[in-house]
C-alpha cells in the first residue's frame, strides 16, 4: 500500500531564508507527483506537478525535484516571504493514469518578518 510521509510536520523560518520541504513515498511505481499549497480554511492550490519521467519542475521561487528510485521528492522555496506561510501537501498518483491522489499529512510553514 502506497504511503506518503512529509517531514517536518512544521517549520518556522525568518523571512529571506531558503528552505526545503521533504516528501517520501513507499512505492516507487508512481505516475506523477503533485505539490499543493493550502491556506487555513481554504482549498488546495496546485503548485507543481512532476511526471514520473521528469527530475524537476520550476515555477518562480519554487523548485520541485523527484527521485523515483529512492521514493523522494523535495520542494525548494527560495527567499521565503511571510506570504509563503501555509501548509504544503505532497501527493502521488499510483502507476495508473486517472487514479486518485494519495496524500501526505503536510508541512505547515511559518515565515516571520
Point out which residues bind other proteins (CB under 8 A): 4, 31-32, 34, 36, 41-46, 49, 51, 89, 91, 93, 97-98, 100-106
Residue with Cβ nearer other proteins (11 or 101): 101
Give the nearest distance from C-beta 76 to other proteins in angstroms.
20
Q: Give 100 or 113: the residue with its C-beta nearer to other proteins.
A: 100
Residue closer to other proteins by CB (options 26, 46) is 46
Three-state secondary structure string covering the chain: CCCEEEECCEEEEECCCCEEEEEEECCCCEEEEEEEEECCCCCEEEEEEEECCCCEEEECCEEEEEECCCCEEEEEECCCCHHHCEEEEEEEEECCCCCCEEECCCEEEEEEC
- In angstroms, what is the minimal distance from the CB of 49 to other proteins? 5
What's the min distance (Å) between Cβ of 87 and other proteins? 10
Amino acid at each position: 500500500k502506497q504511503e506518503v510521509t512529509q517531514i517536518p510536520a512544521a517549520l518556522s523560518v525568518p523571512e529571506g531564508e531558503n528552505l526545503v520541504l521533504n516528501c517520501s513515498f513507499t512505492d516507487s511505481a508512481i505516475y506523477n507527483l503533485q505539490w499543493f499549497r493550502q491556506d487555513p480554511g481554504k482549498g488546495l492550490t496546485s503548485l507543481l506537478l512532476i511526471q514520473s519521467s521528469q527530475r524537476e519542475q520550476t515555477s518562480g521561487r519554487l523548485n520541485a525535484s523527484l527521485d523515483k528510485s529512492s521514493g523522494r521528492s523535495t520542494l525548494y522555496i527560495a527567499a521565503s516571504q511571510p506570504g509563503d506561510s501555509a501548509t504544503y501537501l505532497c501527493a502521488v498518483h499510483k502507476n495508473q493514469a486517472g487514479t486518485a491522489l494519495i496524500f501526505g499529512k503536510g508541512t505547515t510553514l511559518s515565515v516571520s518578518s
